[in-house]
Amino acid sequence: MLSTIRRHLGIKIFLSYLVVILVGVIVLASAAEFAVPSAFDRHMIAMSGMMSDMMGGARLEKDLFTSFRAAVTEALALAVLAASLVAVLASLFVSRQVVAPVREMMIASQRIAEGHYAERVRVPGDTRKGELDELAQLALSFNQMAAKLEGTESMRRELIGDVAHELRTPLTAIKGSMEGLIDGVLPSEVETYQLIYAEADRLERLVNDLQELSRVEAGAYELIRKPISVSSLVESAAARLSRQFEDKGVTLESKVPANLPPALADEDRIGQVLLNLVGNALQYTPPGGHVRIAASRRGHEVHVSITDTGIGISPEHLPHLFTRFYRVDKSRSRAGGGSGIGLTIARHLVEAHGGRIWVESPGAGRGSSFTFTLPLAN
């Protein structure tokens, strides 16, 4: 019996109303039993002078008291009965109003636990006007949690599919080349081994990127922050990629003020971010295009931007570019590009420094600009 009561919120609410009713009945009964006679006696004593002149005054007093007490008891009994009936109905109504949405959330949570992440509960009240009580706010929070879980599960499935796709492509090339060598279809020449090596190298880069992504998302790395020269960082990145720019016929320009104050950052990690963004700009800028690296001070931050005259990005893709494995063109192979998670790693590293990163583009075919911020060293 007690275990049943503990498990049901509706029974608890109903019993709480009954306890209130019981206390009220006890108070009324005590008042009728003790307080009313005392008050009646005081009034009768005050009127005793008048009653003593009347015949049968003592007997009249007793009859009046008996009649008065009976009337009070009858009135209280009717009041208690009416109040109890109303309270019982009210407790049933309120308990159902409270328990129904809770039970709905309980059923929905069980469905979500079974893998049905699209499950939602009804939110009572007008969310547009903000007229939400605690239960409505709980339902709204529940739906928000369910939506995030659904998004996370969707990303997990996409991640597994994308990783499988990314691994399958180089492995298929390596396996095909090796089978060709074994069967004698492919000649045992340097070019064949170079092809196998290139695919193995691509596979290694993907594994390293996945490992790096896992580390940055888990925060399992240490930032060695110190004042760094953004100008030197930009020059270093430009020097490392200058040969690739020359080979593709893309112009690389850097513009950093000589008096730009140092930023407080991990030089290696921000260098990794800068190389990734400049490398992306090179990858998506056709021959004859232009890439520009610029840095400036904005308040208590340093803004670093990489602007290109490349293929550009449509507006609907801009909010998703920093999502791992997100593809602007889902039909395009990444055979000539990276693993597709470099921007995700860059976002995590910049945010770990307390900075921000975003992308802007006028549209497809009109270039793009990636910007990230770093705090000043002072």
Are the beta carbons of 376 and 301 closer than 8 angstroms? Answer: yes
- Measured CA distances, 94 to 23, 85, 97, 107, 218 (Å): 19, 14, 5, 20, 46
CATH class for domain 134-218? mainly alpha
- For the chain, the maximum distance between any two Cα atoms, rounded to a whole number of angstroms, is 141
Sign of the CA dihedral 268, 311, 324, 161?
negative
DSSP assignment of 176-229: HHHHHHHHTSS--SHHHHHHHHHHHHHHHHHHHHHHHHHHHHHT-S----EEE-
Token pair of 360, please?
């802007």
Q: Give me the residues paired with residue 255 across strands.
A: 294
Contact 178, 199 (CB under 8 A): no
Long-range Cβ contacts of 51-57 (<8 Å, 24+ apart): none
CA proximity to 328, closest of 345, 308, 311: 311
10 alpha carbon, distance to own chain's centre: 31
**What is the structure's pLDDT at 372?**
97
User: For helices 57-113 and 134-183, what crossing angle results, to 10°?
Assistant: 10
What local confidence, expressed as pLDDT, does residue 57 receive?
55
Enumerate residues 6+ apart whose C-beta is below 8 A from 87. Answer: 17, 18, 20, 21
Under CATH, which number does the domain 226-375 receive? 3.30.565.10
Report the distance separating Cα 281 and Cα 275, nearest Å.
10
* CB of 9 closer than 8 Å to CB of 98: yes
Q: What percent of the chain has pLDDT over 70?
A: 74
pLDDT score recorded for residue 42: 60
Decide the pairing of beta strands 290-298 and 251-255: parallel
Q: What span, in angstroms and rounded, lies between the C-alpha atoms of 355 and 369?
A: 17
Q: What is the CB neighbour count within 10 angstroms for residue 197?
A: 13
Write down the domain spans for the chain.
2-113, 134-218, 226-375
CB atoms within 10 A of CB 211: 10
Query: Which pLDDT score is estimated for 333?
Result: 47
DSSP state of 35: I
Cβ pair 227, 264 in contact under 8 A = yes
pLDDT at 336: 47
- Each residue's pLDDT, cut to its tens digit, for the chain (378 residues) gives 566 555 555 666 667 767 777 777 776 666 666 666 666 666 555 555 555 555 455 666 666 667 666 766 776 777 777 777 777 777 777 777 777 788 888 899 998 888 888 889 888 766 665 666 677 788 888 899 998 888 888 877 877 777 787 788 788 888 888 888 888 888 888 888 888 888 888 788 778 878 877 777 777 778 889 999 999 999 999 999 999 999 999 999 999 998 999 999 999 999 999 999 999 999 999 999 999 999 999 999 999 999 999 999 889 888 888 877 676 655 444 444 455 688 888 999 999 999 999 999 998 888 999 999 999 997
